[in-house]
Amino acid sequence: MPATSPRNDHPLMAQAIRALAMDAVQQANSGHPGAPMGMAEMAQALWTRHLKHNPAQPQWADRDRFVLSNGHGSMLIYALLHLSGYALPIEQLKAFRQLHSLTPGHPEVDVTPGVETTTGPLGQGITNAVGMALAEKLLASEFNRDGHTVVDHRTYVFMGDGCLMEGISHEAIALAGAWKLNKLVALYDDNGISIDGQVAPWFIDDTPARFKACGWNVIGPVDGHDVDAVDAAIAQAKGSADKPTLIVCKTSIGKGSPNRANTAKAHGEPLGAEEIKLTREAIGWTHEPFVIPAEVKAAWDATDRGAVAQAEWEKRFTAYAVAHPDMAAEFLRRMAGELPANFAEIAVEAVASAHEKAETVASRKASQIALETFTAQLPELLGGSADLTGSNLTNTKSTPNLRLDATGAVVKNDAGVGGRHINYGVREFGMAAIMNGIALHGGFIPYGGTFLTFSDYSRNAIRMAALMKRRVIHVFTHDSIGLGEDGPTHQSVEHAASLRLIPGLDVWRPADTTETAVAWTMALANKNRPSALLLSRQNLPYAPKTDADLITRGAYVLAEPTEVGRRRKPQAVIIATGSEVQLALHAQAALADLKIAVRVVSMPSTTVFDRQDRNYKKEVLPPKLPRIAIEAGVTDFWWKYGCDAVIGIDRYGESAPANVLFPMFGFSVENLVQTVRKVLAK
């Protein structure tokens, strides 16, 4: 089968990757040379004959996406980026795995130009890629018009045995098949080796059958060291009309190394000076370390064809902008990740409406109320739930369910609108990593729901969103023992504190409708942070407040002693979040009857409050006032605020109605009053 794009092959192109990989790992005395050496021809076939990209403009909107899911083989992508003409000079490859270099141990988005996602935790790269391919499909359905195709690119993934052993890979491939992501092509580096050796004793899956069962095309096995064979397989995959494609590439890890090829010794350690010398001889590479002959570099260079491809797209987009100016402007806005120009007004409307209505509802319902406003005004909001839509309340009138017809086309309603609410099924980890891929692709702000206790399933993908600084919003409902009868398996205890430990993640546990609306506003406005909203199953009374703007600071004075008839300075501060704010307010009133004046501070987001300036923190929590915290979760977290007492729960819950559980575990007005009195008596 002929190649799909002009090429200038050179017999040493794949060997250049092998040389750079073994030299960089040797110089760093750390890394994984085997995978890059084994996938060299696979990379040559894809990057020189199929991949649509422009090294001069790594963020060009209609580029193909390439994901190295087995990110430990990072020298493969670094070699490819350098050879293709990206702004990654040879000095950076020499600085592989060194402090502040552009070539960290695993690929990191926004660090190395041309890297689309941060990979390393196995299985998440392929799952990110599913999110990217879904985003492409949905954007194409929304923006393309007859005679004007402005969204038309593919997502390619390299992955190995480790990615397929991780359970998340099954979640990802099942959804990719269900969504008929025909522009997703995964190339499986089937070398049969992992760190512990030959995988046969512990990995006996029939991988092709598994993918076929999930609705994928499967091509191969092909010889992964035959550039033309891989090229032909990719060309065949691109012809798929309604299925993603897996290409099984049989390879030898550490290909070219006389003594380490096909062994675990090639996987995660330098080859050693003597073996590198032997490998150079075996592959016919006579050049010094990090030296690439001009003719080999020229064969790899993609700058000219990349510029042509982008220029062709820009010409099409210019014509599109003439025919559909509003849609063109909307596409550019959304791909830039900018909110609508009137977002401030939309946010004010949502918060003001919540404040005016002062409804007593569960904060999960308050979230849905806010979402009704935001989803109606922000078409980029793409929601979903892990089989808990009726409990998470992530669906709205403006977000019909995503559905596809038999051909793989997005089903649209009478108004021509496609689905914006995704049924992820019981796949929390997959959902979280797919949302990361959607955010990385651009054009959408993803949010997805599950119970807070199941955040454990998706935790590493949440961490990756924070590491990558991507706007992904997690809706976690049933946030405490307040969910009641489902019992300790479903009652969150340590989860709020655990999520707050993730650097770069904003965690909100709002107490009423207004705090929930503000939490959504902040999550949407924060372009460079993921957010987690922890929401109640049970109804929460509205807490009157005078200045909703202060909620944006993470914590604020909700009620002074004067509001319950005590005209004196506070003697203590009660800090509360979520459902426990009402207990704090009732305790404040009860203490006032005992002639004790306390301030109530609502702290819906400890992570946001911790970023405030020192003066504001002292305003809210005066240094000399005793502090008592109350939250239906583990107590350890709260001592960092200099508390004199903490009411929490340091054991698992019980199966019983919420109104029985709360007083049983000390979450009562009486216990809070007694705790404050004991602190003041010290």
Q: How far is CA 536 from the centre of its chain?
A: 24
Return the SS3 of 477. strand
**Overall residue count recorded for the chain in this entry:** 682
Query: Rounded to 5 degrees, what angle do the CA atoms 270, 272, 273 make?
Result: 135
Kindly calculate the radius of gyration of the chain based on its CA atoms and give it in whole angstroms.
28
CA separation (Å) from 183 to 136, 228, 234, 680?
A: 9, 21, 11, 66
Q: Which two tokens stand for residue 96?
A: 């592989």
Name residue 609's amino acid: F
> Which is the catalytic residue, given 428, 515, 580, 631?
428
Cα gap 616→371, rounded to integer Å: 30
44, β-bridge pairs: none
DSSP string, 353-410: HHHHH---EEHHHHHHHHHHHHHHH-TTEEEEESS-HHHH----TT-PBP-B-TTSPB
Cα gap 567→662, rounded to integer Å: 31
Strands 197-198, 193-194: parallel, antiparallel or unpaired by DSSP? Answer: antiparallel
What is the biggest distance separating any 2 CA atoms in the chain, rounded to whole angstroms? 89
Q: Kindly provide the residue ranges of all beta strands, DSSP E only, lying in 603-678, ordered along the sequence.
A: 627-630, 645-647
| Nearest by Cα to 324 from 153, 142, 134 | 142
The yes-or-no answer on residue 654 being catalytic is no
Cα gap 289→34, rounded to integer Å: 17
| Nearest by Cα to 654 from 490, 521, 494 | 490
Burial tier of 25 (Cβ tally within 10 Å: 0-12, 13-18, 19+): buried
CA separation (Å) from 113 to 55, 92, 276?
A: 8, 12, 29
Cα gap 231→244, rounded to integer Å: 17
DSSP string, 526-552: -TT--EEEE--SSEE-----S-GGGGG
Burial tier of 407 (Cβ tally within 10 Å: 0-12, 13-18, 19+): exposed
Name residue 409's amino acid: A
Cα gap 344→238, rounded to integer Å: 43
Alpha helices in 74-159 (DSSP H): 74-84, 90-94, 124-143
Q: Which two tokens stand for residue 520?
A: 């959504």
Alpha helices in 120-250 (DSSP H): 124-143, 161-165, 168-178, 207-213, 227-237
157, β-bridge pairs: 67, 186
245, β-bridge pairs: 185, 217
Strands 539-540, 361-362: parallel, antiparallel or unpaired by DSSP? Answer: antiparallel
Cα gap 391→357, rounded to integer Å: 23
Q: Which two tokens stand for residue 324?
A: 């559909």
Cα gap 431→54, rounded to integer Å: 30
Query: Is residue 1 within 8 Å of 236, Cβ to Cβ?
Result: yes
Positions marked active-site: 428
